[in-house]
Amino acid sequence: MASIAPWRRRRSGSAHLEKRLNALQSDLARLQEDLRGLASAGGEAASERMADALESAQAGAKIVAGRAAEQLGSWTNGNLDPVRSQVRSQPLASVLLSVGAGALVGALLFGTLGDRD
């Protein structure tokens, strides 16, 4: 009889070990699901933060662009009078200079457009 009792203990021990392994597997599966949930929540939080940062950067860029446009407009208006007086004093030279600049810009644009064909 002494030999039967250890065999039963081994069998009950293996059943107990199987239960513990199954419990461990289920715990690992739940942990994996929790980690997936945390990862997706972290991704959502990061995307929200990124969207907020982009919105604030866009707003800042609009403000800076508006200021630059105002400064450029005031600089242009301030320097427009000397240009007008120069054009009035030398109209032929001004026309030739404008035609030459237009031809140069046209050649540059046509040269880059001609390469595409």
Band of the pLDDT at 26, cuts 50, 70, 90?
confident
pTM beyond 0.75: the answer is no
3-state secondary structure the chain: CCCHHHHHHHHHHHHHHHHHHHHHHHHHHHHHHHHHHHHHHHHHHHHHHHHHHHHHHHHHHHHHHHHHHHHHHHHHHHHHHHHHHHHHHCHHHHHHHHHHHHHHHHHHHHHHHHHHC
Task: Give the number of domains in the chain.
Answer: 1
Residue 74: domain span: 4-116
Reported as a single tens digit per residue, the pLDDT across 41-95 is 877 888 888 888 888 888 889 999 989 988 888 888 778 888 888 889 999 999 9
